[in-house]
A and B are shown apart, each in its own frame.
Chain A
Amino acid sequence: MADFTITIAVTGSMGGQSFSWSRTATVANIDAALYGLNSSVQTNSGLGSDSAGGFSIDGHHDYTGVAVACFVHNNPGTIIKINPIDTTGTVYASVIMPPNVPMIYYGGAGAGFTGTFNSSNTATDTPTVDMVGMISAEPLIGSGSIAGLYGLKPVS
């Protein structure tokens, strides 16, 4: 078992004043990790689907959900939309990823919320839907690459 560590640092300068913010997050006791690159995101391609041009982790693990997953791309002038998918193939929490802005998802870790995400019209809902590691990525502007790193351990 190992630790999955994520660090984000933001710096900037405006009006002669400097800004700096940095945090490190750790998920402990990860059993296994998967890494994937998709060099050319096409419509209906997937990091976790069987679509042509996609990258699939489907069948590569037996967990009911991922403990942590993160994605990023840095293609100038390219905007990618990612569509996380649950075990039934339903899309939740689709998000638009501009270059250099990562996305991070966590599975329920036992105590606490039981899922990674949710989407609804009910304001009092909470994250109850597991993410098995499947996303589809589609180009909104341009066609670029995207990379993902997954950490796996039993989730609630």
Chain B
Amino acid sequence: MPNASIAFSASINDGTETKSLSNSGTISCTQLVSGSQTVGNTYEVFATAYGNPSTVIIYNTGAVDASIRVTLQSGATNAYHFLNCIAGGMVVVPCMWGDDNKVWTNLHARSDSGTVTLDYCIIR
């Protein structure tokens, strides 16, 4: 199975020193997808897993916050987890969530107000 390489870094110079966190490694995947979607202030479908565990990285290009909604299905009941992707922020949605360690089935996104454009990368 092919691999995708992920390089991550975070840093801040707090006036005394630079604190940083970085990591580089690979994850197995069969698909890599990138794109961009504009959403309004009610939840819209952003991505589906199509039954394949997927990791999604989302970057908010806009000037307002976005809410990312992760759906976990258990029979007829849905459980949801929500993440704040602030204006100019970036969040990662790994494939498994929650107390029962479930693979998510759908991602939805909405803006806090107006519309916002979200860039994304799917590793599936």
Report B108 CB to chain A, min CB distance, Å: 8
Tell yes or no: B112 within 8 A of A by CB: yes
Q: B14 near A12 (CB under 8 angstroms)?
A: no
Provide the main secondary structure of the chain A interface: strand
Q: B25 near A118 (CB under 8 angstroms)?
A: no
Chain A residues touching B, range: 35 or more
Closest to A73 in B: B23
Q: A12 near B97 (CB under 8 angstroms)?
A: no
User: Which chain A positions have C-beta within 8 A of B65?
Assistant: 108-109, 111-113
Q: Please measure, in the bound complex, the distance between the C-alpha atom of A112 and the C-alpha atom of B62, giving whole angstroms.
A: 12
Which of B2-20 touch A at CB < 8 Å?
2-15, 19-20
Produce 1/0 per residue, B1-45, CB < 8 A to A: 011111111111111000111011111011010100000000100
Tell yes or no: B90 within 8 A of A by CB: yes
Known: A2-B14, A5-B10, A119-B79. A102 touches B92 (CB 8 A): yes
Q: A7 near B9 (CB under 8 angstroms)?
A: yes
Which of B89-109 touch A at CB < 8 Å?
89-92, 94-99, 101
13 residue pairs bridging A and B, Cβ less than 8 Å apart: A10-B121, A12-B29, A14-B2, A27-B88, A30-B12, A72-B8, A81-B101, A95-B81, A101-B92, A118-B81, A119-B98, A125-B82, A127-B83
* Residues of B that sit less than 8 Å from A by CB: 2-15, 19-21, 23-27, 29-30, 32, 34, 43, 55, 57, 59-60, 64-65, 67, 69, 77-92, 94-99, 101, 110, 112, 119, 121, 123
